[in-house]
């Protein structure tokens, strides 16, 4: 794709005859009118010939769902270069033997290519906002390469700059804070790009640097995003070091708040769930990754019952191994029910809501929306649109993605991107990366 942007110019778009998610629920056939980057009308009335003549682009959405885009609330784009390497290892050996050595061998160009590949995968699956826990913070050039790619993609991207000040790849606190401040100053406020603090995990971070980085993020209207209580090993490390479980310790050091995103929360007890609810700290649930790594199943039904906000994420492709949010929705429903022996918990519409970037398409809102094909054997018949989406859909069913009124995916093709060339470039880069990392 060689530096170009991936999206169309902003035009006037009519999306017609689809099942449209409105503030009042699904309507079909529905019509969505987009002008100057915003949704200007959502209607059940067919447009007049006059209006039709004004459209720069008309998208036929018959037998399709027309809805807000999805948020992948936790992934690691760099891990697109590390798929299939878990090899049956549990979390900590997998990190130490596979992920960290490869990460250490990344060049800025590898970071750029891996991010492009990962963003294409998310875009193809209908994700309009990607939260990238950016794990290759080896140099400012690595992070800037990912930020530049994010801006070129046209997607909303949050880069949660990862850091650790204890153990392997530790950085001095002053260097972490200086680089975060640099990133906020340079990139925060760039169109559709957001920066956040992304501590790696509790056991790799000191309380003092956690607090200071969180205060810094707050000054820029941002937040902290990190792995918490992912595995039983981690709970044991926390008990050994602080005499407290992970979420309890976070609360103890004053870090638990609505602007602290708790990724995983697989191993949280009732008291910790209450603390999450009291402080409004959102949990990002990554059921596929938690299962692949043998970490466990997060108590989503209990979290929701207590009023903890729950979002969905795929986690990185090294532990998933895809970034398909539809698969994540279905897995969330299945695991919530299997783990409670209760088929009434987490209805499909609730799982879908956890993944949506907005509750519905509203006139006046930015035109961030997707068109999803439901006219295939896997979804037929569509008795209930939310069920068809949460239980029968795959990423490849997404036909069109529009962000801010610009078309990023049209008829299943990424606009302005030579995808075959990108795949070839990634293949070459990964071969060289494996050699540098000593992984043959
Ligand atoms: Zn992760």
- What are 373-399's pLDDT values in tens digits? 999 999 999 999 999 999 999 999 999
CA distance 180 to 143: 11
Is 423:12 a contact under the CB 8 Å cutoff? no
Q: How far is CA 324 from CA 130, 308, 315, 424, in A?
A: 12, 24, 10, 22
Q: Which of 24, 80, 74, 79 is nearest to 359 (CA)?
A: 24
Q: How confident is residue 219, by pLDDT bands cut at 50, 70 and 90?
A: very high
Q: What is the dihedral of CA 333, 337, 343, 349, to 10 degrees?
A: -20
Residue 421's CB: how many other CB atoms inside 10 A? 11
Mean pLDDT of 353-375: 98
3-state secondary structure of 235: helix
**Distance from residue 315's CA to the centre of ligand 1 (Å):** 5
Q: Which of 100, 111, 101 is nearest to 201 (CA)?
A: 100
Above 60 in pLDDT, residue 1? no
**Distance from residue 227's CA to the centre of ligand 1 (Å):** 6
User: Which CATH fold would you assign to the domain 81-355?
Assistant: TIM Barrel (3.20.20)
Q: Which of 248, 201, 207 is nearest to 225 (CA)?
A: 201
The predicted model scores a pTM of: 0.96
pLDDT at 101: 82
Q: Which helix (H) or strand (E) holds 39?
A: strand 38-43
Is 123:72 a contact under the CB 8 Å cutoff? no
**How does DSSP assign 364-376, residue by residue?**
TSB--EEEEE--S
Above 70 in pLDDT, residue 95? yes
Alpha helices in 226-358 (DSSP H): 232-242, 246-252, 270-279, 287-292, 300-305, 325-340, 348-355
Is 53:9 a contact under the CB 8 Å cutoff? no
pLDDT at 137: 64
Give the whole-number percent of the chain exceeding pLDDT 90. 84
**Distance from residue 346's CA to the centre of ligand 1 (Å):** 23
Q: Which of 371, 358, 355 is nearest to 409 (CA)?
A: 371
Q: Which distant-in-sequence residues (6+ apart) come within 8 Å of 369 by Cβ?
A: 15, 32, 39, 66, 67, 68, 69, 128, 361, 402
CA distance 159 to 187: 10
Q: Which of 73-87, 135-149, 206-220 has the highest mean pLDDT?
A: 206-220
Mean pLDDT of 355-370: 98
Q: Which of 102, 80, 114, 213 is nearest to 168 (CA)?
A: 102
Task: State the SS3 of 281-307.
Answer: CCEEECHHHHHHCCCCCCCHHHHHHCC
**Distance from residue 317's CA to the centre of ligand 1 (Å):** 9
pLDDT at 2: 38
Return the domain boundaries, the chain: 13-69+358-419, 81-355
The lowest-confidence range among 51-55, 130-134, 302-306 is 51-55
Above 80 in pLDDT, residue 122? yes
**Distance from residue 76's CA to the centre of ligand 1 (Å):** 6
Q: How confident is residue 136, by pLDDT bands cut at 50, 70 and 90?
A: low
**How does DSSP assign 105-168, residue by residue?**
T--HHHHHHHHHHHHHHHHHTTEEEEEEEE---SSHHHHHHHHHHHHHH-SEEEEEEEE-SSST
Above 50 in pLDDT, residue 57? yes
Q: How confident is residue 440, by pLDDT bands cut at 50, 70 and 90?
A: low
pLDDT at 242: 95
**Distance from residue 176's CA to the centre of ligand 1 (Å):** 19
Report CA 47 to chain centroid distance, whole Å: 35
pLDDT at 9: 74
3-state secondary structure of 179: helix
- For 119, list phi and psi in degrees, rounded to 5: -70, -40
CA distance 147 to 128: 16
Mean pLDDT of 136-142: 83
Distance linking the first and last C-alpha atoms of the chain: 29
Domain 13-69+358-419 part of CATH 2.30.40.10: yes
Above 90 in pLDDT, residue 102? no
**Distance from residue 41's CA to the centre of ligand 1 (Å):** 38
Q: Which distant-in-sequence residues (6+ apart) come within 8 Å of 52 by Cβ?
A: 14, 58
**Distance from residue 13's CA to the centre of ligand 1 (Å):** 37
Reported as a single tens digit per residue, the pLDDT across 253-268 is: 999 999 999 999 999 9
User: What mean pLDDT value characterizes the chain?
Assistant: 94
**Distance from residue 159's CA to the centre of ligand 1 (Å):** 13
Mean pLDDT of 51-65: 94
Give the whole-number percent of the chain exceeding pLDDT 70. 98
**Distance from residue 254's CA to the centre of ligand 1 (Å):** 23
Q: Which distant-in-sequence residues (6+ apart) come within 8 Å of 344 by Cβ?
A: none
């Amino acid at each position: 794709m060689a530096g170009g942007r991936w999206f169309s110019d902003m035009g006037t778009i009519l999306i017609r005859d689809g099942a449209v998610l409105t503030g009042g629920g699904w309507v079909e056939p529905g019509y969505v009118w987009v002008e100057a980057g915003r949704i200007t009308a959502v209607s059940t009335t067919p447009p007049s010939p006059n209006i039709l003549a004004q459209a720069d682009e008309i998208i036929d959405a018959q037998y399709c769902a027309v809805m807000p885009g999805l948020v992948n609330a936790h992934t690691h784009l760099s891990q697109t270069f590390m798929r299939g390497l878990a090899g049956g290892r549990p979390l900590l050996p997998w990190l130490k033997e596979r992920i960290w050595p490869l990460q250490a061998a990344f060049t800025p160009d590898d970071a750029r290519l891996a991010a492009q590949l990962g963003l294409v995968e998310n875009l193809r699956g209908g994700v309009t906002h990607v939260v990238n826990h950016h794990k290759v913070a080896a140099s400012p050039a690595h992070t800037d390469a990912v930020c530049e790619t994010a801006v070129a993609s046209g997607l909303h991207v949050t880069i949660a700059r990862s850091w650790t000040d204890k153990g392997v790849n530790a950085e001095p606190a002053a260097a972490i804070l200086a680089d975060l401040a640099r990133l906020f100053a340079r990139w925060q406020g760039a169109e559709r790009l957001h920066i956040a603090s992304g501590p790696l995990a509790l056991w790799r971070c000191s309380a003092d640097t956690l607090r200071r980085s969180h205060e810094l993020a707050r000054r820029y209207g941002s937040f902290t995003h990190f792995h918490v209580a992912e595995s039983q090993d981690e709970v044991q490390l926390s008990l050994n070091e602080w005499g407290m479980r992970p979420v309890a310790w976070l609360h103890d050091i004053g870090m638990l708040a609505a602007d602290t995103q708790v990724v995983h929360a697989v191993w949280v007890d009732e008291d910790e769930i209450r603390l999450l609810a009291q402080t409004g700290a959102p949990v990002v649930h990554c059921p596929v990754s938690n299962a692949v790594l043998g970490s466990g199943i997060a108590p989503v039904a209990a979290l929701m019952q207590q009023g903890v906000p729950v979002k969905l994420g795929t986690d990185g492709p090294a532990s998933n191994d895809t970034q398909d949010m539809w698969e994540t929705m279905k897995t969330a429903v299945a695991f919530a029910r299997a783990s409670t022996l209760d088929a009434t918990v987490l209805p499909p519409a609730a799982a879908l809501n956890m993944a949506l970037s907005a509750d519905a398409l509203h006139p006046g809102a930015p035109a961030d929306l997707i068109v999803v094909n439901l006219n295939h054997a896997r979804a037929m018949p569509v008795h209930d649109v939310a069920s068809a989406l949460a239980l029968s859909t795959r990423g490849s069913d997404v036909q069109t993605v529009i962000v801010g009124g610009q078309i990023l995916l049209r008829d299943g093709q990424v606009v302005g991107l030579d995808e075959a060339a990108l795949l070839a470039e990634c293949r070459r880069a990964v071969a060289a990366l494996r050699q540098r990392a000593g992984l043959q």
